[in-house]
Amino acid sequence: MNNLITLNNGVTIPSVGFGVFQSAPAETAAAVETALKAGYRHIDTAAGYGNEREVGDGIRRSGIDPAEVVIETKVWVSDYGFDETLHAFDKSATKLGVSRIDVLILHQPMPQHFARTVQAYHALERLLEDGQVGAIGVSNFMPHHLAALREQTQIVPAINQVELHPYFTQTAVQKADAELGIVTQAWSPIGGITFYPGWGENRKSVMDDETIAGIAAGHGKTPAQVMLRWHLQQGRSVIPKSTNPERIAQNIDLFDFELTTAELTAIDRLDRGVRGGPDPDEVDPSTWNVEIPEAETPTSTTKGS
Ligand code: A2P
Protein backbone atom coordinates (compact mmCIF):
# COMPACT_ATOMS: atom_id res chain seq x y z
CA MET A 1 0.00 0.00 0.00
CA ASN A 2 1.23 3.48 -0.79
CA ASN A 3 -0.24 6.97 -0.77
CA LEU A 4 -0.16 9.20 -3.80
CA ILE A 5 1.19 12.74 -3.98
CA THR A 6 -0.23 15.04 -6.62
CA LEU A 7 2.34 17.25 -8.34
CA ASN A 8 1.60 20.81 -9.46
CA ASN A 9 0.79 19.67 -13.01
CA GLY A 10 -1.72 17.04 -11.85
CA VAL A 11 0.60 14.05 -12.27
CA THR A 12 0.58 11.68 -9.28
CA ILE A 13 3.50 9.78 -7.82
CA PRO A 14 3.60 7.33 -4.91
CA SER A 15 4.75 9.06 -1.73
CA VAL A 16 7.27 6.28 -1.08
CA GLY A 17 9.67 5.71 -3.94
CA PHE A 18 12.70 3.47 -4.14
CA GLY A 19 16.21 4.94 -4.24
CA VAL A 20 19.27 3.44 -5.90
CA PHE A 21 21.96 6.00 -5.03
CA GLN A 22 25.22 4.12 -4.44
CA SER A 23 23.60 0.83 -5.40
CA ALA A 24 26.27 -0.96 -7.40
CA PRO A 25 25.11 -1.74 -10.95
CA ALA A 26 25.44 -5.46 -10.22
CA GLU A 27 23.01 -5.18 -7.30
CA THR A 28 20.63 -2.63 -8.74
CA ALA A 29 18.53 -4.83 -11.00
CA ALA A 30 17.88 -7.32 -8.17
CA ALA A 31 17.06 -4.52 -5.72
CA VAL A 32 14.63 -2.89 -8.16
CA GLU A 33 12.97 -6.21 -8.90
CA THR A 34 12.61 -6.91 -5.16
CA ALA A 35 11.24 -3.43 -4.54
CA LEU A 36 8.60 -3.70 -7.26
CA LYS A 37 7.52 -7.10 -5.96
CA ALA A 38 7.28 -5.58 -2.45
CA GLY A 39 4.85 -2.95 -3.77
CA TYR A 40 6.96 0.07 -4.76
CA ARG A 41 5.82 1.76 -7.97
CA HIS A 42 8.31 4.62 -8.12
CA ILE A 43 12.04 4.29 -8.75
CA ASP A 44 14.44 7.21 -8.41
CA THR A 45 17.76 7.02 -10.23
CA ALA A 46 20.13 9.43 -11.99
CA ALA A 47 22.38 9.47 -15.02
CA GLY A 48 25.20 10.21 -12.58
CA TYR A 49 24.59 7.02 -10.59
CA GLY A 50 25.66 4.90 -13.54
CA ASN A 51 22.87 2.36 -13.01
CA GLU A 52 19.99 3.48 -15.25
CA ARG A 53 20.38 0.43 -17.48
CA GLU A 54 20.11 -1.88 -14.46
CA VAL A 55 17.02 -0.01 -13.23
CA GLY A 56 15.41 -0.75 -16.59
CA ASP A 57 16.52 -4.39 -16.32
CA GLY A 58 15.02 -4.68 -12.82
CA ILE A 59 11.69 -3.31 -14.01
CA ARG A 60 11.59 -5.79 -16.90
CA ARG A 61 12.65 -8.68 -14.64
CA SER A 62 9.86 -7.92 -12.16
CA GLY A 63 7.22 -8.73 -14.77
CA ILE A 64 5.27 -5.66 -13.66
CA ASP A 65 3.87 -3.51 -16.45
CA PRO A 66 6.38 -0.65 -16.85
CA ALA A 67 3.44 1.70 -17.43
CA GLU A 68 2.55 1.22 -13.74
CA VAL A 69 5.97 2.35 -12.55
CA VAL A 70 6.95 5.99 -12.11
CA ILE A 71 10.55 6.34 -13.29
CA GLU A 72 12.43 9.40 -12.12
CA THR A 73 15.93 10.25 -13.25
CA LYS A 74 18.29 13.23 -13.21
CA VAL A 75 20.41 15.08 -15.74
CA TRP A 76 24.00 15.40 -14.59
CA VAL A 77 25.71 18.84 -14.67
CA SER A 78 28.17 17.88 -17.41
CA ASP A 79 25.13 17.56 -19.72
CA TYR A 80 23.73 21.02 -18.98
CA GLY A 81 22.91 23.35 -21.89
CA PHE A 82 19.82 23.19 -24.13
CA ASP A 83 20.95 20.72 -26.81
CA GLU A 84 23.10 18.81 -24.35
CA THR A 85 20.15 18.23 -22.02
CA LEU A 86 17.88 17.13 -24.88
CA HIS A 87 20.58 14.61 -25.70
CA ALA A 88 20.84 13.64 -22.01
CA PHE A 89 17.14 12.71 -22.18
CA ASP A 90 17.88 10.42 -25.13
CA LYS A 91 20.79 8.79 -23.31
CA SER A 92 18.76 8.16 -20.15
CA ALA A 93 15.64 6.96 -21.99
CA THR A 94 17.69 4.53 -24.06
CA LYS A 95 19.51 3.14 -21.03
CA LEU A 96 16.27 2.79 -19.08
CA GLY A 97 14.60 1.17 -22.10
CA VAL A 98 11.71 3.65 -22.25
CA SER A 99 10.56 6.21 -24.78
CA ARG A 100 9.07 8.54 -22.17
CA ILE A 101 10.43 9.47 -18.73
CA ASP A 102 7.87 10.14 -16.00
CA VAL A 103 9.91 12.61 -13.95
CA LEU A 104 13.10 14.27 -15.20
CA ILE A 105 14.96 16.68 -12.93
CA LEU A 106 18.23 18.63 -12.89
CA HIS A 107 20.62 16.93 -10.46
CA GLN A 108 22.17 20.11 -9.08
CA PRO A 109 22.16 23.83 -9.69
CA MET A 110 25.47 24.87 -11.20
CA PRO A 111 25.85 28.28 -9.56
CA GLN A 112 29.11 29.15 -11.35
CA HIS A 113 27.47 28.35 -14.68
CA PHE A 114 23.89 29.31 -13.96
CA ALA A 115 23.13 30.28 -17.57
CA ARG A 116 23.81 26.67 -18.56
CA THR A 117 21.60 25.46 -15.71
CA VAL A 118 18.79 27.66 -17.06
CA GLN A 119 19.34 26.35 -20.60
CA ALA A 120 19.14 22.80 -19.24
CA TYR A 121 15.85 23.67 -17.56
CA HIS A 122 14.55 25.19 -20.82
CA ALA A 123 15.25 21.79 -22.40
CA LEU A 124 13.18 20.11 -19.67
CA GLU A 125 10.36 22.57 -20.42
CA ARG A 126 10.57 21.62 -24.11
CA LEU A 127 10.52 17.88 -23.28
CA LEU A 128 7.47 18.42 -21.07
CA GLU A 129 5.66 20.41 -23.76
CA ASP A 130 6.45 17.68 -26.28
CA GLY A 131 5.08 14.98 -23.95
CA GLN A 132 8.39 13.17 -23.66
CA VAL A 133 8.43 13.62 -19.89
CA GLY A 134 5.52 13.66 -17.47
CA ALA A 135 6.88 16.16 -14.96
CA ILE A 136 10.05 18.21 -14.51
CA GLY A 137 11.92 19.45 -11.51
CA VAL A 138 15.19 20.12 -9.80
CA SER A 139 17.39 18.73 -7.07
CA ASN A 140 19.57 20.39 -4.46
CA PHE A 141 18.13 23.82 -5.26
CA MET A 142 18.29 26.24 -2.34
CA PRO A 143 15.76 29.10 -2.14
CA HIS A 144 18.09 31.53 -3.95
CA HIS A 145 18.60 29.04 -6.78
CA LEU A 146 14.83 28.57 -7.09
CA ALA A 147 14.29 32.32 -7.16
CA ALA A 148 16.92 32.79 -9.89
CA LEU A 149 15.43 29.93 -11.92
CA ARG A 150 11.91 31.29 -11.63
CA GLU A 151 13.03 34.66 -13.01
CA GLN A 152 14.25 33.06 -16.22
CA THR A 153 11.88 30.16 -16.88
CA GLN A 154 8.15 29.55 -17.38
CA ILE A 155 7.23 26.27 -15.74
CA VAL A 156 7.40 25.90 -11.96
CA PRO A 157 9.36 22.76 -11.05
CA ALA A 158 7.09 19.97 -9.79
CA ILE A 159 9.72 18.53 -7.44
CA ASN A 160 12.79 19.72 -5.56
CA GLN A 161 14.76 16.74 -4.30
CA VAL A 162 17.08 17.72 -1.44
CA GLU A 163 19.01 16.15 1.41
CA LEU A 164 16.46 15.96 4.21
CA HIS A 165 16.45 13.84 7.37
CA PRO A 166 15.95 14.56 11.08
CA TYR A 167 19.47 16.00 11.46
CA PHE A 168 19.07 18.33 8.45
CA THR A 169 15.50 19.47 7.99
CA GLN A 170 16.03 22.36 5.55
CA THR A 171 13.11 24.44 6.80
CA ALA A 172 13.96 27.35 4.48
CA VAL A 173 13.93 25.07 1.44
CA GLN A 174 10.68 23.46 2.52
CA LYS A 175 9.09 26.89 2.94
CA ALA A 176 10.30 28.12 -0.45
CA ASP A 177 9.09 24.92 -2.12
CA ALA A 178 5.67 25.17 -0.44
CA GLU A 179 5.25 28.80 -1.47
CA LEU A 180 5.88 27.85 -5.10
CA GLY A 181 3.77 24.68 -5.04
CA ILE A 182 6.81 22.43 -5.39
CA VAL A 183 6.82 19.01 -3.70
CA THR A 184 9.85 18.57 -1.46
CA GLN A 185 11.35 15.16 -2.06
CA ALA A 186 13.79 13.91 0.56
CA TRP A 187 17.00 12.21 -0.47
CA SER A 188 18.72 10.27 2.31
CA PRO A 189 15.34 10.33 4.09
CA ILE A 190 16.57 7.93 6.76
CA GLY A 191 19.87 9.75 7.04
CA GLY A 192 22.10 7.38 5.09
CA ILE A 193 24.34 10.35 4.44
CA THR A 194 24.98 10.50 8.21
CA PHE A 195 26.44 6.99 8.21
CA TYR A 196 27.64 6.13 4.67
CA PRO A 197 31.27 5.02 4.92
CA GLY A 198 33.69 7.55 3.48
CA TRP A 199 31.37 10.57 3.63
CA GLY A 200 33.04 12.49 6.47
CA GLU A 201 34.34 11.73 9.93
CA ASN A 202 32.90 12.34 13.42
CA ARG A 203 29.33 12.13 12.25
CA LYS A 204 26.54 10.91 14.44
CA SER A 205 24.27 8.45 12.65
CA VAL A 206 20.65 9.54 12.82
CA MET A 207 19.83 5.81 12.76
CA ASP A 208 21.29 5.65 16.32
CA ASP A 209 19.40 8.67 17.64
CA GLU A 210 17.90 8.04 21.10
CA THR A 211 14.79 10.18 20.57
CA ILE A 212 13.92 8.33 17.37
CA ALA A 213 14.65 4.99 19.03
CA GLY A 214 12.23 5.86 21.86
CA ILE A 215 9.46 6.82 19.45
CA ALA A 216 10.08 3.68 17.40
CA ALA A 217 9.88 1.44 20.47
CA GLY A 218 6.56 3.05 21.44
CA HIS A 219 5.04 2.12 18.07
CA GLY A 220 6.72 -1.27 17.64
CA LYS A 221 8.44 0.11 14.51
CA THR A 222 12.06 0.67 13.50
CA PRO A 223 13.88 4.04 13.50
CA ALA A 224 13.83 3.99 9.68
CA GLN A 225 10.06 3.54 9.65
CA VAL A 226 9.58 6.37 12.14
CA MET A 227 11.72 8.72 10.03
CA LEU A 228 9.83 7.81 6.87
CA ARG A 229 6.47 8.25 8.58
CA TRP A 230 7.62 11.70 9.83
CA HIS A 231 8.28 12.72 6.21
CA LEU A 232 4.96 11.38 4.96
CA GLN A 233 2.91 13.08 7.67
CA GLN A 234 4.62 16.35 6.76
CA GLY A 235 3.75 15.93 3.07
CA ARG A 236 7.12 15.02 1.64
CA SER A 237 7.98 12.43 -0.97
CA VAL A 238 10.68 9.95 0.12
CA ILE A 239 13.05 7.66 -1.76
CA PRO A 240 14.79 5.39 0.79
CA LYS A 241 17.58 3.27 -0.65
CA SER A 242 18.31 -0.32 0.29
CA THR A 243 19.66 -3.42 -1.39
CA ASN A 244 18.48 -5.67 1.46
CA PRO A 245 15.11 -7.41 0.80
CA GLU A 246 13.98 -7.20 4.43
CA ARG A 247 14.77 -3.50 4.71
CA ILE A 248 13.28 -2.81 1.25
CA ALA A 249 9.98 -4.29 2.53
CA GLN A 250 10.25 -2.53 5.88
CA ASN A 251 10.67 0.88 4.26
CA ILE A 252 7.30 0.73 2.55
CA ASP A 253 5.44 -0.78 5.53
CA LEU A 254 4.44 2.63 6.89
CA PHE A 255 0.69 2.80 6.75
CA ASP A 256 -0.45 1.06 9.93
CA PHE A 257 0.71 3.63 12.49
CA GLU A 258 0.63 7.37 13.02
CA LEU A 259 3.00 9.72 14.85
CA THR A 260 1.49 12.23 17.26
CA THR A 261 2.01 15.97 16.85
CA ALA A 262 4.34 15.85 19.86
CA GLU A 263 6.40 13.10 18.24
CA LEU A 264 6.64 15.02 14.96
CA THR A 265 7.79 18.10 16.87
CA ALA A 266 10.35 16.08 18.85
CA ILE A 267 11.83 14.84 15.56
CA ASP A 268 11.81 18.36 14.07
CA ARG A 269 13.86 19.52 17.07
CA LEU A 270 16.68 17.11 16.25
CA ASP A 271 17.77 19.35 13.36
CA ARG A 272 21.46 20.24 13.60
CA GLY A 273 21.48 22.50 10.56
CA VAL A 274 24.53 20.70 9.15
CA ARG A 275 24.34 19.00 5.78
CA GLY A 276 26.05 15.67 5.18
CA GLY A 277 26.29 16.01 1.40
CA PRO A 278 28.03 18.59 -0.76
CA ASP A 279 27.11 22.27 -0.57
CA PRO A 280 25.02 22.98 -3.70
CA ASP A 281 26.76 26.34 -4.11
CA GLU A 282 30.07 24.59 -4.61
CA VAL A 283 29.18 21.93 -7.17
CA ASP A 284 30.43 22.28 -10.72
CA PRO A 285 31.38 19.79 -13.46
CA SER A 286 34.80 19.25 -11.88
CA THR A 287 33.43 18.27 -8.46
CA TRP A 288 33.13 14.60 -9.31
CA ASN A 289 34.56 14.68 -12.80
CA VAL A 290 31.72 12.48 -14.04
CA GLU A 291 30.89 12.26 -17.75
CA ILE A 292 27.72 10.45 -18.73
CA PRO A 293 28.48 7.79 -21.35
CA GLU A 294 26.52 7.49 -24.56
CA ALA A 295 23.90 4.74 -24.65
CA GLU A 296 25.73 2.74 -27.33
CA THR A 297 23.29 -0.14 -27.56
CA PRO A 298 19.66 0.89 -27.69
CA THR A 299 17.37 -1.48 -25.84
CA SER A 300 13.83 -2.16 -27.01
CA THR A 301 11.17 0.29 -25.98
CA THR A 302 8.97 -1.03 -23.22
CA LYS A 303 7.07 2.01 -22.07
CA GLY A 304 5.12 4.91 -23.44
CA SER A 305 4.06 5.74 -26.92
P1 A2P B 1 21.22 -1.27 2.90
O2 A2P B 1 21.20 -0.99 1.42
O3 A2P B 1 22.26 -2.29 3.28
O4 A2P B 1 19.85 -1.58 3.47
P5 A2P B 1 19.21 6.75 2.71
O6 A2P B 1 18.20 6.28 1.71
O7 A2P B 1 18.64 7.63 3.78
O8 A2P B 1 20.43 7.35 2.07
O9 A2P B 1 19.72 5.45 3.51
C10 A2P B 1 20.33 4.39 2.85
C11 A2P B 1 21.19 3.61 3.83
O12 A2P B 1 20.38 3.11 4.88
C13 A2P B 1 21.89 2.45 3.20
O14 A2P B 1 23.14 2.33 3.83
C15 A2P B 1 20.97 1.27 3.56
O16 A2P B 1 21.72 0.09 3.65
C17 A2P B 1 20.45 1.68 4.93
N18 A2P B 1 19.08 1.25 5.20
C19 A2P B 1 18.06 1.20 4.32
N20 A2P B 1 16.91 0.84 4.94
C21 A2P B 1 17.23 0.65 6.23
C22 A2P B 1 16.46 0.24 7.38
N23 A2P B 1 15.16 0.01 7.28
N24 A2P B 1 17.12 0.13 8.56
C25 A2P B 1 18.46 0.37 8.65
N26 A2P B 1 19.22 0.77 7.60
C27 A2P B 1 18.62 0.90 6.41
CATH at residue 188: 3.20.20.100
Ligand 1 atom closest to the Cα of residue 247 is 23
What single DSSP character describes residue 47? G
How many domains, in total, are found in the chain?
Answer: 1
| Catalytic sites, residue numbers | 49
Provide the mean pLDDT of the chain. Answer: 94
Please indicate, yes or no, if residue 279 is contained in any of the structural domains.
no
Please indicate, yes or no, if residue 269 is contained in any of the structural domains.
no
The answer to which of 227-236, 259-268, 279-288 has the lowest mean pLDDT is: 279-288
Provide the percentage of residues in the chain whose pLDDT is more than 70: 97
Give the model confidence (pLDDT) of 200-211 as tens digits: 777 889 999 999
Q: How confident is the model at residue 296 (pLDDT cuts 50, 70, 90)?
A: confident
Q: What is the pTM of this model?
A: 0.95
Find the mean pLDDT for residues 221-233: 98
Please indicate, yes or no, if residue 217 is contained in any of the structural domains.
no
The yes-or-no verdict on residue 305 having pLDDT over 90 is no
Give the 3-state secondary structure of residue 60. Answer: helix
Please indicate, yes or no, if residue 262 is contained in any of the structural domains.
no
Please indicate, yes or no, if residue 189 is contained in any of the structural domains.
yes
Find the mean pLDDT for residues 111-139: 97
Pocket of ligand 1 (CB under 6 A): 19, 188-193, 207, 222, 224, 240-244, 247, 250-251
Domain that holds residue 138: 4-201+234-243
Please indicate, yes or no, if residue 162 is contained in any of the structural domains.
yes
What single DSSP character describes residue 195? T
CB-based burial label for 94 (10 Å; 0-12, 13-18, 19+): buried
Please indicate, yes or no, if residue 91 is contained in any of the structural domains.
yes
The yes-or-no verdict on residue 187 having pLDDT over 50 is yes
Strands 101-106 and 133-139: parallel
Q: Write the residue with the smallest CA distance to atom 16 of ligand 1.
A: 242
What span, in angstroms and rounded, lies between the C-alpha atoms of 44 and 186?
11
The yes-or-no verdict on residue 301 having pLDDT over 50 is no
Find the mean pLDDT for residues 277-300: 80
What is the best residue among 51, 188, 244 to mutate for testing ligand 1's pocket, by most ligand atoms within 8 Å of CB? 244
Q: Write the residue with the smallest CA distance to atom 7 of ligand 1.
A: 188
Give the model confidence (pLDDT) of 250-265 as tens digits: 999 999 999 999 999 9
Residue type, 257: F
At 1 the pLDDT is 54
Please indicate, yes or no, if residue 54 is contained in any of the structural domains.
yes
The yes-or-no verdict on residue 246 having pLDDT over 70 is yes
CA of 237 to the centre of ligand 1 (A): 17
The yes-or-no verdict on residue 46 having pLDDT over 60 is yes
At 302 the pLDDT is 46
Ligand 1 atom closest to the Cα of residue 31 is 2
